[in-house]
């Protein structure tokens, strides 16, 4: 068990992008936080399990072709279009996992945690299943997270969650998405 200070340090060790993002937050019994990563992955909704695998397969499949030179540019372009079609279908499947009753808006997200706006305060230490829907990336992430901080601003509560159970590939996806969004924000500010 990590202390609250260690959890806050883990949360702060990753870059957070200020970007409104649709999330589902479902508070669960604290005993669920005690499960192993294997149990977590076994209990993960199937759509989330295969989504990151599809993304990883795509990136691995295109790497060797990019290094073969300009002769294969047409083939790479075609395969990227096919991958985009798969991404769009996967995005459609993942959005079906969005539960309107559990929907909230994240203000910031990153590889270590997420900050979600709530209308009422949440207890420090509360555990939640969190689904992060990255529509612009045609991806979504499922994880367990713990409340580590609550800040009241303008009659709303900014609740900071640190990820307690998240697959490495999903954490990498969040890091890549945050960096991609930051790049887009910097380009639009020029």
Range of the domain at 95: 4-188
CA 128 from centroid of its chain's CA atoms? 14
Residue 25 is predicted with a pLDDT of 97
Give dist(CA 156, CA 27) in Å, integer: 18
- Among residues 32, 63, 37, the alpha carbon closest in space to that of 49 is found at 37
- The count of structural domains within the chain is 1
Q: What is the CATH number of the domain that holds 146?
A: 2.40.10.220
Give dist(CA 19, CA 90) in Å, integer: 22
Residue 164 is predicted with a pLDDT of 95
Length of the chain in terms of residues written? 190
* Mean pLDDT, the chain, whole residue set: 87
Q: What totals of helices (H) and strands (E) does the chain contain, helices first?
A: 5, 6
Residue 163 is predicted with a pLDDT of 97
Give dist(CA 1, CA 18) in Å, integer: 29
- Residue 1 predicted with pLDDT over 60: no
- Residue 71 predicted with pLDDT over 60: yes
- Among residues 3, 78, 89, the alpha carbon closest in space to that of 54 is found at 89
């Amino acid at each position: 068990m990590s202390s609250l200070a260690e959890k806050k340090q883990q949360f702060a060790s990753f870059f957070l992008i200020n970007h409104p993002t649709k999330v589902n937050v479902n508070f669960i019994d604290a005993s669920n936080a005690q499960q192993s990563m294997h149990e977590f992955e076994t209990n993960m909704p199937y759509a989330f399990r295969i989504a990151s695998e599809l993304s990883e397969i795509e990136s691995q499949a295109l790497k060797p072709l990019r290094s073969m030179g300009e002769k294969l540019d047409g083939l790479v372009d075609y395969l990227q279009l096919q991958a985009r079609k798969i991404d769009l279908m996967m995005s459609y499947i993942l959005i079906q996992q969005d539960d309107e009753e559990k929907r909230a808006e994240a203000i910031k997200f990153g590889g270590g945690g997420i900050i979600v706006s709530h209308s009422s305060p949440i207890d420090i230490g509360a555990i939640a299943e969190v689904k992060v829907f990255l529509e612009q990336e045609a991806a979504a992430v499922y994880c367990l997270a713990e409340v580590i901080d609550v800040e009241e601003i303008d009659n709303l509560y900014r609740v900071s969650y640190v990820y307690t159970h998240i697959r490495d590939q999903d954490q990498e996806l969040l890091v890549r998405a945050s960096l991609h969004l930051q790049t887009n924000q910097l380009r639009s500010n020029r």
